[in-house]
């Protein structure tokens, strides 16, 4: 059985959105303190959101690129 989640998904989404939409960027520690979450948890959420936003090349493009490089 999985452990219960410490932070709700809505809080995670809101925290990441606040960080990404802020200009200038607040420090992660300061934003985490304001939201009442651990700074490393916020850092991980931001990292996960960042990797999810990067478009990945299509498989056909990768195969063509590999063929060209060989």
Strands (E), 1-70: none
Which pLDDT value is given to residue 52?
A: 65
Segments making up each domain of the chain, as ranges: 9-69
Which pLDDT value is given to residue 54?
A: 53
pTM, rounded to two decimals: 0.65
Q: What is the pLDDT of residues 13-61, one digit of tens each?
A: 999 999 999 888 889 999 999 999 999 999 999 999 887 655 555 667 7
DSSP string, 10-40: HHHHHHHHHHHH-SSPPPHHHHHHHHTS-HH
The CATH number given to 9-69 is: 1.10.10.10
CB hemisphere CA count around 9 (13 angstroms): 0
């Amino acid at each position: 059985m999985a452990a219960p989640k410490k932070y709700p998904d809505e809080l995670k989404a809101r925290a990441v959105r606040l960080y990404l939409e802020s200009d200038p960027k607040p420090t992660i520690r300061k934003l985490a303190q304001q939201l009442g979450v651990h700074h490393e948890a916020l850092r991980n959420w931001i990292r996960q959101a960042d990797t999810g936003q990067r478009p990945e090349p299509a498989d056909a493009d990768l195969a063509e690129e590999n063929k060209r490089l060989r």
